[in-house]
Amino acid sequence: MGLLLPACRNGKKGFGKITMEIISALKESGLVGLGGAGFPTWQKWQAVKNSPEVKRFVICNLSEGEPGVFKDEYILQNHLPELIAGISLAKETVGAQRAYVFLNDKYRKYLPKIIKAVKDKKIEVFIDTGRYLCGEETTLLQTMEGKLRQPRQKPPYPTETGLYGYPTLINNAETLYRAYLISQGETEMKRFYSISGDVIDHKRVVKEKVGAKIKEVILPRYLDKINFVRISGPSGFFARHEDFEQIVSGTGAVEIYGKNRRIIEGLIDSMVFLKNESCGKCTPCREGSYRITELLNKLITTASLWDRKEILELISVIAKTAGDSSFCPLGLSIARPVNSATENFKQELIGE
Amino acid sequence: MSKIFDIKINVKKYKASSSDTILQIARKNDLKIPTLCYHPDLPVGASCRLCLVEIINEKKSQIVTACSTKVFEGMNIKLDTPRVKSARKINLEMLLSDHIKKCGECNWHDNCGLKELAREFGIKESRFPERRRHFKTDAKTPSIFWDSSKCIECGNCVSACNEIAGLANIESKYRGHSIIFGPAGGRSFADTDCVFCGQCVLRCPAGSLQEKSEIEDVEKILLNKKKQILVAQFAPSTRYSIGELFNLPPGVNLELKLVTALKKLGFDYVFDVNFGADITTVEEAAELIERLQTRKDETMFTACCPAWVRYVETFHHDLIPNLTTTKSPTHCLAPAVKSYFAKKIGIRPGRIKIVEIMPCIAKKYEAKLPEMCQTFNPEVNFALTVREAARILKNKNIDLPKLADSQFDSPLGSSSGAGAIYGSSGGVMESALRTVVAKLSDARLPKLEFSEVRGMSGVKESSVDIDGEKLEVAVVSGLKNAAKLLADMKSGIKRYNYVEVMACPGGCLGGGGQPIPTTPEIRFKRSAAFYTDDQKKKVRRAHDNPDIIKLYQGLDTKPLGPLSKKLFHRKFTLRRPKLKKDNNAN
């Protein structure tokens, strides 16, 4: 609460800093999108700002559809004023007339709080039950425009042709929150990590430096009890102790699997999720997610070692195809859970 | 921004500009990239993921779809790397198992893009079990047969209906791996406001949407003739495109060989729908002249396109009185056959069975309309598309291009140049204008060619001068373009005396029953052939056709006379839209 600075209260000319300075500050900070894609934030802001179109929009992506990720909810609970300030900052900087908060229907309970916070700020809330794919920015636009919930081709990018065809800045909620902090002089580059799963007492959000390693975001007393973890949800990868030097990338989610859990469970969980969330537009994702799930179920019931090896081979080939040729990030991400499992957990998968 | 630069494909250099896609450059230079969902008439969907190519750059090579990726200067593309070939093969295998194989009994096997790619890739069996256990079929309309088990969810049908017809009769249902594409509502085209233009059928790569087959019916009557007299008649467009199904380029006139082929099949007489077109011209010109005198401020629209007529009957009730009452060429020829010709050879009309071969699937619907069964029930017994006719010939091992020539039968087999150009957008208009101008103008050499209404453009306008008076005309093809023109006319921006409307792009030569593929390039080539033949004809105007003159004498009537009204004119039906929301998708 006490983080609201005088600058915010003045409304239109609130921020005082020249907008170019904000964009340089973002560039210097190295802030990238924290919704999973990791695109340099200053570039997006710059692109919309420099557009020849007069009409522009800002959208705060609060879709948070990836299982195991709840950092944006944490911001809603604890840092809502700064988030709203971040949205307003973006609006001012890129010259947008209107901003939207794209809110996942599962966070409907925060609606009264949000409505109160955006009063008189030309920020509207758009609630949608649209499911996972709506977190992908072009599908989000399709949803807001009432069209078929399938992604659009990029290019053109939303910064050029976005909502209703106008240049639109779409940023993850935490990205906008961090942008505000940077505009207020914050120099430490930290981010929120969502830690959940077995073994720990309760799920929690941890604030650590950007680019922290897996072992740096989990409390030491839990490390021994962990079998393996899933980083960044079903579209992310699996890692075991030897890999805990790896950086927690993507959405910053760490899901813990305890000693009594098997890798095949984690992999099936990831693939079933991706299969259920596929929009059905393109062949490798629609068919590939279906076939991989089908084959994984076959793997469990197949006794012969040779057959199991063959099934894993085929799964890998399909995953590679999806990872090479899918239309949108959902399909392209199919390769990650499969590859990380087949590369790091081969013995367990074949032996099980 | 059309600066020309170099790109590299498989090491060789090619010229390109920043608005070109990889696929466009490849096709321009005869480089092969497999495609399935891509169609030059539709916005790029990029859903099948078969046209994959690899872009090499210093950091990491990238796999992209050629249809959707625009080139940049110095782009280095490889077409058939192992990575790309593997991905294409897996995607195709997965598509094959998304599709229940009924190739043995399927009528799409001459047209099936999926089957052709499987053959090219050398895939006989897929490693995956067929996953579609529940599927729907729809044979409730006279024109379309839908089988969802064959659908590979490319989305071309939705795109064609939205972008070409400007309607929304096809949609996707469910999502993810359960997604299917079919008639809005999910059950039947009979529940939608489909007008049967067939542009969706023309772009289906897997045979989920096909014309409703009459091949078996026609083969049956040929086998079992008994005392029937079998007559075949084919459209202006048919002769220029049927060769494409026998490996000839578009625009080769095979009319005289087709006559031979039909006789070989067992038809007793072969007449020319171009003659029927002359009848239509003569009647329609007379009607236009009459309306210019009695209903000067109203626009007259053509009505030979059954899809366009159904569209007006459904969505523009107020324009029904503006349609010409003249029937389409094939439905002017058929009653002439069953009355004038039947009398000449002394048989009763009931014994005559007429089979028409059309570039159109709406003709199947038209032939069954009550309005087209008033003179004889029915006038036309069976309607085949050009694709179906080629299949029937192939079933009997008839190699069309290798046959000798035979003439059409008299007296309903000759045509003027005006009748010959009907199949190209602007042909009906020009045909009518030739007669109208000749009748109204006092000039010694009335204008013969009206080049302003020719060509592949969606909308064409012309101001025709008849001895000082101006006749404002327009020609539109593609139902979406027609909807826009109607909107412009209703809001007062545009005013015309006479408008030709064809639902299919380019006119009938781009019809739903034509050979696949039908692309802008192919339509253009087909179109040129009509006008070349028109120029070679001795008689260029419909009313100068001596056989037409004899017909009217023999029937003892004249255009718009009582018997002409009975044989060559029709009424319309008011239809109510079935889909609740506004079906005009723009």
pLDDT 10s digits, A88-126: 999 999 999 999 999 999 999 999 999 999 998 999 999
Q: Which of B344, B68, B97, B368 is nearest to B231 (CA)?
A: B344
- The per-residue pLDDT for A352 is 55
Measured torsion, CA atoms of residues B500, B503, B506, B507, in degrees rounded to the nearest 10: -60
Q: Are residues A165 and A200 both part of a single domain?
A: no
Q: Is A16 a residue whose pLDDT tops 60?
A: no
Tokens coding B25: 């450059």
- Structural domain boundaries enclosing A303: 262-352
Identify whether the C-beta of residue A67 lies closer than 8 Å to the C-beta of residue A164: no
| Residues in B touching A284 (Cβ below 8 Å) | 49, 87, 90-91, 94
Task: Note whether B178 contacts A282, CB cutoff 8 Å.
Answer: no
Q: Is B162 a residue whose pLDDT tops 70?
A: yes
| C-beta atoms surrounding B444 within 10 Å | 5
Residue A13 lies in a domain: yes
Residue A59 lies in a domain: yes
Report the pLDDT averaged over residues A210-218: 92
Q: Which of B355, B350, B411 is nearest to B386 (CA)?
A: B355
Which of A275, A294, A321 is closest, CB to CB, to B90? A321
Window from A170-184, B125-139, B194-208, B336-350 with minimum mean pLDDT: B125-139
Residue A202 lies in a domain: yes
- The per-residue pLDDT for A17 is 55
Strands of A190-197's sheet in order across: A204-209, A190-197, A253-258, A226-231, A237-240
Report the pLDDT averaged over residues B21-42: 96
Residue A222 lies in a domain: yes
Which of A278, A284, A314 is closest, CB to CB, to B177? A278
Q: Are residues A115 and A231 both part of a single domain?
A: no
- Which 44-73 residues of chain B touch chain A by CB within 8 A? 44, 46-50, 52, 63, 65, 68, 70
Task: Note whether B176 contacts A278, CB cutoff 8 Å.
Answer: yes
Residue A1 lies in a domain: no
Task: Note whether A153 contacts B46, CB cutoff 8 Å.
Answer: yes
Q: Are residues A329 and A245 both part of a single domain?
A: no
Percent above pLDDT 70 for chain A: 95
Mutate to test the interface with B, among A139, A274, A279, A287 (most CBs of B within 10 A): A287
pLDDT 10s digits, B275-289: 999 999 999 999 999
Q: Are residues A199 and A152 both part of a single domain?
A: no
Window from A55-59, A240-244, B319-323 with minimum mean pLDDT: A240-244
**Where would I find the beta strands (DSSP E) of B56-162?**
62-65, 76-78, 137-138, 144-147
d(CA A349, CA A342): 7
Residue A275 lies in a domain: yes
What's the first-to-final CA gap in chain B, in angstroms? Answer: 29
Q: Is A272 on the interface with B (CB under 8 A)?
A: no
Confidence class for position A292, pLDDT limits 50, 70, 90: very high
Q: Is B43 on the interface with A (CB under 8 A)?
A: no
Q: Which of B62, B65, B56 is nearest to B11 (CA)?
A: B56
Task: Note whether B49 contacts A325, CB cutoff 8 Å.
Answer: yes
Confidence class for position B1, pLDDT limits 50, 70, 90: low
Strands of B269-272's sheet in order across: B269-272, B229-234, B352-358, B382-385
Say which CATH number the domain at A195 has.
Answer: 3.10.20.600
DSSP secondary structure code for residue B442 in this structure: -
Mutate to test the interface with A, among B65, B83, B98, B177 (most CBs of A within 10 A): B177
Using CA coordinates, name the residue in chain A closest to B66.
A325
CATH T-level topology, domain B101-212: Alpha-Beta Plaits (3.30.70)
Q: Are residues A45 and A164 both part of a single domain?
A: yes
Name the minimum distance, in Å, from the CA of B69 to any CA of chain A.
9
| Residues in A touching B179 (Cβ below 8 Å) | 279-280, 286
Identify whether the C-beta of residue B475 lies closer than 8 Å to the C-beta of residue B426: yes
What are A5-12's contacts with CB under 8 Å, separation 24+?
A5/A184, A8/A85, A8/A88
Q: Is B163 a residue whose pLDDT tops 50?
A: yes
Name the minimum distance, in Å, from the CA of B141 to any CA of chain A.
27
d(CA A150, CA B312): 33
- The per-residue pLDDT for B582 is 52
d(CA B115, CA A62): 45
Q: Is A8 a residue whose pLDDT tops 50?
A: no
Say which CATH number the domain at A108 has.
Answer: 3.40.50.11540
B384 or A148, greater pLDDT: B384
- The per-residue pLDDT for A18 is 67
Which of A151, A183, A215 is at the close of a domain? Answer: A183
Three-state DSSP class for B40? coil
Q: Same CATH fold, B101-212 and B4-94?
A: no
Identify whether the C-beta of residue A341 lies closer than 8 Å to the C-beta of residue A266: yes
Which of A280, A287, A320 is closest, CB to CB, to B175? A280
pLDDT 10s digits, B253-272: 999 999 999 999 999 999 99
Q: What element of type H or E holds A300?
A: helix A283-301
What are A40-48's contacts with CB under 8 Å, separation 24+?
A41/A171, A41/A175, A41/A179, A44/A159, A44/A169, A44/A170, A44/A171, A45/A90, A45/A93, A45/A94, A45/A169, A47/A157, A47/A159, A47/A160, A47/A167, A48/A94, A48/A95, A48/A96, A48/A159, A48/A167, A48/A168, A48/A169
Q: Is A297 on the interface with B (CB under 8 A)?
A: no
Q: What residues have CB less than 8 Å from B86, skipping those under 6 apart?
A: A317, A320, A321
Exposure string for A48-87, b = 16+ CB within 10 A, e = fewer: bbebeeeebbbbbbbbbbbbbbbbbbbbbeebbebbbbbb
Q: Are residues A34 and A105 both part of a single domain?
A: yes
Report the pLDDT averaged over residues B62-87: 95
Name the minimum distance, in Å, from the CA of B35 to any CA of chain A.
13
Q: Which of B171, B92, B179 is nearest to A277 (CA)?
A: B179
Name the minimum distance, in Å, from the CA of B137 to any CA of chain A.
21
Instruction: Name the amino acid, one letter, at B384.
Output: L
Name the minimum distance, in Å, from the CA of A324 to any CA of chain B.
6
Provide the CATH number for the domain formed by B4-94 in this structure: 3.10.20.740
How many helices (H) and strands (E) in chain B? 19, 18
DSSP secondary structure code for residue B561 in this structure: S
Q: Are residues A160 and A92 both part of a single domain?
A: yes
Q: Are residues A90 and A238 both part of a single domain?
A: no
Name the minimum distance, in Å, from the CA of A338 to any CA of chain B.
16
Identify whether the C-beta of residue B534 lies closer than 8 Å to the C-beta of residue B517: no
- Which 133-172 residues of chain A touch chain B by CB within 8 A? 148-149, 153, 155
Name the minimum distance, in Å, from the CA of A107 to any CA of chain B.
24
Name the minimum distance, in Å, from the CA of B95 to any CA of chain A.
7
Q: Where do the structural domains in chain B lie, given as residue ranges?
A: 4-94, 101-212, 217-568
Number of domains in chain A: 3
Q: Is A320 a residue whose pLDDT tops 50?
A: yes
pLDDT 10s digits, B406-452: 999 999 989 999 999 999 999 999 999 999 999 999 887 888 999 99
Exposure string for B491-508, b = 16+ CB within 10 A, e = fewer: eeebebbbbbbbbbbbbb
Residue A15 lies in a domain: yes
Q: Are residues A252 and A138 both part of a single domain?
A: no
**Largest Cα–Cα distance in chain B?**
83
Three-state DSSP class for A182? helix
Q: At what angle do helices A41-49 and A80-94 cross, to 10 degrees?
A: 40
| C-beta atoms surrounding A167 within 10 Å | 26
pLDDT 10s digits, B303-349: 999 999 999 999 999 999 999 999 999 999 999 999 999 999 999 99
Strands B498-502 and B180-183: unpaired
Task: Note whether B176 contacts A280, CB cutoff 8 Å.
Answer: yes
Mutate to test the interface with B, among A325, A330, A334 (most CBs of B within 10 A): A325
| Residues in A touching B128 (Cβ below 8 Å) | 291, 294
Strands B498-502 and B469-477: parallel
Three-state DSSP class for B463? strand
Percent above pLDDT 70 for chain B: 99
Query: Rounded to two decimals, what is the model's pTM?
Result: 0.92
Name the minimum distance, in Å, from the CA of A15 to any CA of chain B.
39
- The per-residue pLDDT for B581 is 60
Task: For chain A, give the mean pLDDT.
Answer: 91
Say which CATH number the domain at A272 has.
Answer: 1.20.1440.230
Confidence class for position B491, pLDDT limits 50, 70, 90: very high
Tokens coding B283: 């009647």
- The per-residue pLDDT for A13 is 43
Which of A215, A230, A260 is at the close of a domain? Answer: A260
Three-state DSSP class for A123? strand
CATH T-level topology, domain B217-568: Rossmann fold (3.40.50)
| Residues in A touching B97 (Cβ below 8 Å) | 287
Mutate to test the interface with A, among B157, B175, B179 (most CBs of A within 10 A): B175
- The per-residue pLDDT for B586 is 38
Which of A183, A217, A241 is at the close of a domain? Answer: A183
Mutate to test the interface with A, among B47, B49, B69 (most CBs of A within 10 A): B49
Report the pLDDT averaged over residues B538-546: 95
Taking CA atoms, B453 is separated from B292, B303, B427, B474, B560, in Å, by: 20, 17, 8, 7, 26
| Residues in B touching A275 (Cβ below 8 Å) | 176-177
- The per-residue pLDDT for B60 is 85
pLDDT 10s digits, B102-124: 888 899 989 999 999 999 999 98
Residue A311 lies in a domain: yes
Percent above pLDDT 90 for chain B: 91
| Residues in A touching B127 (Cβ below 8 Å) | 314
Confidence class for position B470, pLDDT limits 50, 70, 90: very high
Task: Note whether B86 contacts A321, CB cutoff 8 Å.
Answer: yes
Three-state DSSP class for A306? helix
Using CA coordinates, name the residue in chain A closest to B178.
A280
Q: Are residues A254 and A266 both part of a single domain?
A: no
Confidence class for position A6, pLDDT limits 50, 70, 90: very low
Q: Is B172 on the interface with A (CB under 8 A)?
A: yes
Q: Is B584 a residue whose pLDDT tops 80?
A: no
Q: Is A3 a residue whose pLDDT tops 50?
A: no
d(CA B25, CA B14): 8
Q: Are residues A171 and A194 both part of a single domain?
A: no
Q: Are residues A18 and A133 both part of a single domain?
A: yes
Task: Note whether A283 contacts B49, CB cutoff 8 Å.
Answer: yes
